Amino acid sequence: MLGREDFLRAVRAHLERARRGQGGLLLVTGEAGIGKTALTGCAVQEARHAGMAVLRGSCWGADGTPGYWPWTQVIRGLRQALRTEAWEAASEAAGVVWQVLLTGGGRTENEGRTESEGRAQDEGRTEDEGRAQDEGRAQESLRTGDEGHAQEPRRTEDEGQAQELSRFELFDAVTTMLATASHHHPLLVVLEDVHWADPASIALLEFAAQHLSLDRVLIVATCRLVEVERPDHSLRDRLRSLTARATTLTLTGLGAADVAELMLRTVGSAPEGRLVADVLHRTGGNPFFVQETARLWAGGHEVSGTSPGLHASLRQRLDLLDGAVADCLGAASVLGRRLRTDTLASVLGASTEDVHGWLDQAAEARLVVYESESSGEALRAVVFEHDLVREALYGALDNRLVRRLHAAAVTALRSTTDARDVTLPVELARHAHLAFEELDRDEAVELLLSAAHHAENRMAHEEAAGHYERVLDRLGDADPRRRVLLGLHFGTALQMLGEHERSWRVYADAAALARDLGDPLLMGWTALTLYGSDGRGDTALLKPRALRWAYEQQNLGRKSLQSPVSDDPAALDDSELTLSQSSLARHVAAGVIAGARAAGDDDTLHIGLWARLQSECGPRSAGDRRALAEELVAVSRRRGDRWTEHVAMSMRWVAALESGDPRFMADFQAMVALGAADGSARLRLHSVIDHSIVHALTGRFAEATELLEASETMSAPGANYYHYFVSHHRWSLLVLRGRFTEAKQLLDTLRAQQHPYVDLVEALADLEAGERRGVPVPRPGAGAGGDTVLHHSVTPLWLRYQAQAAAASGDPAWCDNAHAALVPYTGQWLVSLFGWDISGPAALWLGILDAARQRWDSAVRHLTEACRSADRMHALPWSLRSRLELAVALAAQGDHDERYVASLLGEAESQAHELGMTHLLARVAHVGGGHAVAGHRGPDDTPAAYEFRHIGEVWRLTYDGSTVHMPDAKGLRDLHCLLSLPGQDIPAVRLLNPDDDTVATVHGMGADDVLDDEARTRYRRHLERLDEEIDRAVEQGDEQRAAAYDQERADLLEELRRCAGLGGRPRRLGDSRERARKNVTGRIRDTLRKLDQRHPDLAAHLRGTLS
């Protein structure tokens, strides 16, 4: 490369350091055409020559490009570059989180064999079965809702802790995958044109740069920083932060000698010195500009008259092309930077032979290059040599011709592109939008709607909102009914983004138009959609007003309301509107359902059924909701709406669970099967979160937590549902397991996420932890904008708290009131927040209240039924809780079978150990004080005064007669090992690898200092000489020389810092012992911190004992 020797040396040095395990980020910057791609091309050649695997990802600034697109390409490249065993090791180390980058809704034929296909073939399964089982592990979705017609737990876009954690887990998965792969092959990751990347991709790049610095991974990214420095550029601050973590190579223009040589190489003629000076002056030495200018000069054109800038130079070069070639390239510029030749032939209405002939001429002119594809000559792909070429071609086209070409592109892409291509709906929508009147309006609307639905399936809600907005713009004033429905879709998409105020403005336009049209079914559809939406931002109380408008239209001619509906929100009685919402919604939904059935209108019918599902609440309503869900499943099937069918199936198993029907598991498995068969991101995500809830119910806490964490991460790239629903599930899981400290730490997160009933959650956590007696908590009221859907959904959780708090207080009146409120729920389970919270069988809380009132026969009857119900549902945690409460009631009753009580306590203790619900063991011990617990220590056995024992999934720790139980942790295993060998020195590497003597032995070997004594002495002397030279230059007034020496000194100090550890300690090459010491020390310290809260005396003793 001309004039780039220094840069090449820097690239080679970074490649060599990466191969030795000192990776990092190399940022190659400069203006367009300066040679960034050429330099990275040399880096790729050097890396491959050195045996490194090369992964590439290109960014593109066009609308509709999926998020994390360059990283998707990198992961695909990694899968193709690694051998099977290396790929399996890397993907296994990263877990399932990374799969969200590859699940865009379809695969091309050329992506190669996926991990699931490989395993399916190895295990004798079909390819579809293998892929379904893999993808079924990866994603979360809404608990209820369809296209905005139900109360959906959505995530907002607030940068709270939950979303930060979700994004961190995705980033960690990608870096873990790359780091693990680098153990098999050193990696070079090339990301081109990151100034066009989405913000999330840049954030992931910054994360990777920081966390891969000690792995055999070098990331080279190219960027036009000049463009990014615009004040309005969305990546300005992020890329500024990125440069602080990178080694930056800023390419500048070539010198005169190199410009002359480049012109000679380009056109074969040596220019005169005066011409070289002119070219250098006008191009600034930009190699691409120089080449363009040289070609124009060789064609007989005056340089001074043709290239005042890049665009003019490109335009004049393109004018030299044959007319047919120029027309071909103009059409190609409409299709994008990369295109297939058969698609271009279809747009032009020409044969593929003619198109290949024209493109061959363009390739000879170095405007485009071919990419070979495996499917044959007709499917060859062509790429513009530089995107500036494409931009110049596109900008020169006549506006009417541009619209015609975009319209032709729609037809061409439909006939030549694989329908499974993830980019097809986005590309069709882009061309439909830019074709304007050249494409039929209805066809354009359908394409834009298809792209919106496709984006929703990928959880790209911002993209979906943009498509809906363009649909409304394209529709204009035509078809008012359709405009109402599209407005509802647009408003729902905005709600998914957390833009509540804007969504209600869009809803207001749709509702006003629906009211004017006077169609009762349409008005009912509109009102019920608004009823299921988040009330935040509804300052005009549109939700209850729309319900009244719909009710009045359905009852036209009759006196339907006591007072007319005012158009002035200030004139309305807010409390009356709020209190009437549920009943109004039921009436409107019933009218919509009846009208839709009569008209055979399944689209409207499914809206009515959704609203009935939401408005049916309270005791004894679960059976009705299950029947409604059954019908909604059938209607959705007829409509071909897999998403609504899937969520309705979810509501069906939740309703069955609420009824105490063990057949809920069959309904749940049917829902999971549908999600696996469909394969879309939303359905897989929904299945994963439902799996987490069911695992928590059945006591499989580890799997529930793993799936919960995976679902949070999988939703991070696109979904923006209510964060607090996911956090509430995490909170309920922690409380169920007795991890009260962690549950209370989560309260701040719930407040930040605007959980509407956080006071209730906090009070219940304190009550479960035994930190305060029951205090009254007001019954939850309506939410923002008079929202009653959430209000009704949280009532069972409040009833549970009432029962626990009243029983704890012993207040007879409070116990009587709480009991009366729970009696209607007899035989049911308390399920809140659309299934996100399961509070056990109502019989459990009725029995606890009876016990508090000393009504022992009734308490035993209810608690026995609670045990039976929990056993029927295979709900082990609630079975344990019910057995323990039953034992308490029987023991307090006095007249009981001692052996039966002992048996109950024995079962409870065994289950508590098995499930890790160690917080209940103290109660078991207290109740069993006078009872020989079956299968466990009897009253005559003397408990150990000191004990450190591993039992199942927990550790029993006894010190000075006081016992606590702790969940299994590596730090506890380390402490056990150390205490088992008193007075002996145990290498940290042996604690880190207790089951592998070979690894422990190898890692126990020493390591050499990165800097030996001689090197440190020389560095010190060189620093002293630099200080002297800096002082001398300052005295002589030579600021430039002083600055150069100062920079050299700073670089040297930075290098020394890399070679030294914390506190200036010498860092050793490959010192596994030091890393092991830090890891083990961190694990033990973390365990002791947790022990401080459970058994402070033991924690203090261990700190004073270990060294």
- Average pLDDT value for residue range 1003-1012: 47
User: How would residue 895 be classed by pLDDT, with cut points 50, 70 and 90?
Assistant: low
Q: Three-class SS of residue 975?
A: helix
- Rounded distance between C-alpha atoms, residue 241 and residue 315, angstroms: 37
- Rounded distance between C-alpha atoms, residue 603 and residue 592, angstroms: 11
pLDDT digits (tens, 9 = 90+) for 608-643: 888 888 777 777 788 888 999 999 999 999 988 888
Task: Tell me the average pLDDT of the chain.
Answer: 79
Q: Say which residues have a Cβ less than 8 Å from residue 207's Cβ, sequence separation at least 6.
A: 168, 171, 172, 175
- Average pLDDT value for residue range 455-460: 78
Q: How many CA atoms lie within 13 A of 864 on its CB side?
A: 9
Token pair in block for residue 367: 């405007």
Is pLDDT above 50 for 347?
yes
User: How would residue 1026 be classed by pLDDT, with cut points 50, 70 and 90?
Assistant: confident
Q: Are strands 247-250 and 24-29 parallel, antiparallel or unpaired?
A: parallel
153-167, 343-357, 360-374, 417-431 — which is least confidently predicted?
153-167
Per-residue pLDDT, 409: 93
Strands (E), 181-273: 187-192, 217-223, 247-250
Is pLDDT above 60 for 646?
yes
Per-residue pLDDT, 1044: 75
- Rounded distance between C-alpha atoms, residue 75 and residue 271, angstroms: 47
- Rounded distance between C-alpha atoms, residue 441 and residue 382, angstroms: 31
Q: Which amino acid is at 426?
A: V
Is pLDDT above 90 for 328?
yes
Per-residue pLDDT, 1077: 76
pLDDT digits (tens, 9 = 90+) for 729-784: 999 999 999 999 899 999 998 888 888 888 999 999 999 988 777 778 887 765 54
Tokens 């994004």 correspond to what residue? Answer: 167
Give the Cβ contact number of residue 889 at 10 Å. 27
User: How would residue 312 be classed by pLDDT, with cut points 50, 70 and 90?
Assistant: low
Query: Percent of the chain scored above 70 by pLDDT?
Result: 78
Per-residue pLDDT, 380: 75
pLDDT digits (tens, 9 = 90+) for 110-169: 333 333 333 333 434 344 444 334 443 333 332 333 333 333 333 344 444 444 557 788
Token pair in block for residue 219: 């990331």
| Phi and psi at residue 241, to the nearest 5° | -65, -35
- Average pLDDT value for residue range 434-453: 90
65-69, 71-75, 425-429, 826-830 — which is least confidently predicted?
65-69
Dihedral over Cα of 713, 719, 723, 725: its sign: negative
Is pLDDT above 90 for 62?
no
Q: Which residue has the higher pLDDT, 60 or 854?
A: 854
* 540 in Cβ contact with 505 (< 8 Å): no
- Rounded distance between C-alpha atoms, residue 805 and residue 273, angstroms: 93
pLDDT digits (tens, 9 = 90+) for 260-288: 998 899 888 888 888 888 788 667 787 88
Per-residue pLDDT, 977: 82
Token pair in block for residue 442: 């209805």
Is pLDDT above 60 for 64?
yes
* 839 in Cβ contact with 794 (< 8 Å): no
Q: Which residue has the higher pLDDT, 30 or 181?
A: 181
- Average pLDDT value for residue range 464-484: 91
Spell out the alpha helix ranges (H) of 723-811. Answer: 723-737, 740-745, 747-752, 758-769, 789-793, 795-809
Per-residue pLDDT, 183: 92
| Phi and psi at residue 339, to the nearest 5° | -150, 160
* 129 in Cβ contact with 626 (< 8 Å): no
Is pLDDT above 70 for 562?
no
Count the helices and strands in the chain (H runs, E runs). 54, 13
Q: What DSSP letter does each residue of 515-550 carry, written as one string?
A: HHHT-HHHHHHHHHHHHTS--TT-TT-HHHHHHHHH
Q: Say which residues have a Cβ less than 8 Å from residue 192's Cβ, sequence separation at least 6.
A: 36, 37, 40, 56, 57, 58, 59, 70, 221, 222
Highest mean pLDDT among 231-245, 554-568, 1039-1053: 231-245
Per-residue pLDDT, 230: 57
Per-residue pLDDT, 648: 92
Strand partners, 25: 219
